Amino acid sequence: MCQYVNIVAGGRGSGGAGQAAALSPRGRETRSTQGRLPAVRTNGPSFYTASMRRERSIRRGGEAKQADGPVVGLRIIGGTLRHRKLQYSGDLRTRPMKDRVREAVFNLLGPGIKGTHAIDLFAGTGALGLEAISRGAARATMIERHLPTAKLIEQNAAALGVAEQVEVVFGDAFGWSEEFCSRVPTVVTVFCSPPFDFYVERQEQMRALIGRWTEAALAGSQVVVEADERFDFSSLPQAERWDVREYLPAVVGIFS
């Protein structure tokens, strides 16, 4: 049996204001070119600056994962904790869901999130689970395999005054889900927002993970999956129950 470390705040991850209307179901966001290497040919290695080498290393899975500075504006969007800021290390591996996408997701979930147990499988910054608490979830469990990031989620929960409602699990979402899904005790709202490359590199595992939750969840539960265009939601069991919307480059599916 897999073992996990539970970090209960006060006692995510490698795993993005108000009640504005959700974004258009088929609304497409113009692809941003910010952060991409320019398409210029060169014969000499001196073309790349230090920052370009660092970005190239990150894209190829290198060790340089730290952003040059903290991400500005990471905050709770709606609910009782609206506008409260979250601490964020700037670690690029966490890839926080964009604010506009997070707002759209929670508008789509609507009042159905109230009183549920929110579970963030790839917690990263913890923004999804904490947003769920702000909007009425009874409690949140956040799974994060990077220990410093897991501790930061704990600190954010304490700073927001919701420590008693939050459990942070230092562990792997795949193994933890296999155990937890065998005994789901209540209605849940599950967030699955991993690194997008997981949908290619760990394709079968991701399908199995999502399928496990849709099978185990009690009536009234909702499962939110954030992917990109490489993932085919129609390949999932009960494909007709997925409400799929595009907020490019993200594609979000909600199972209910």
**Separation of alpha carbons 31 and 129, rounded Å:** 27
pLDDT, residue 99, reads: 86
Strand pairing partners for 3? none
211: Cα separation from own chain's centroid? 18
pLDDT, residue 237, reads: 84
Per-residue H/E/C for 188-215: EEEEECCCCCHHHHCHHHHHHHHHHHHH
pLDDT, residue 18, reads: 38
138, two tokens: 């009874």
Greatest extent of the chain over all pairs of C-alpha atoms, in Å: 61
Beta strands in the chain (DSSP E): 5-8, 117-120, 139-144, 166-170, 188-192, 222-227, 242-247, 250-255
Which domains are assigned to the chain? 5-22+71-255 (3.40.50.150)
Instruction: Please enumerate in sequence order all residues whose Cβ is within 8 A of that of 31, keeping only pairs 6 or more positions apart, or say none.
Output: 248, 249
Per 3-state DSSP, what percentage of the chain is helix, strand, and coil (rounded to 5)? 35, 20, 45
pLDDT, residue 73, reads: 56
Cα–Cα distance list, 53 to 69, 70, 89 (Å): 17, 20, 21
174, two tokens: 């795949």
**Separation of alpha carbons 25 and 253, rounded Å:** 11
Give the pTM: 0.72
**Separation of alpha carbons 180 and 176, rounded Å:** 6
**Where does 69-142 have alpha helices with state H?**
99-109, 127-134
pLDDT, residue 51, reads: 40
Burial of 94 (0-12, 13-18, 19+ CB in 10 A): buried
Report mean pLDDT in 10-residue bins for the chain, 256 residues: 47 40 38 37 34 41 37 78 85 74 94 96 93 96 92 94 95 92 89 94 95 92 95 92 94 95
115: Cα separation from own chain's centroid? 20
21, two tokens: 């209307």
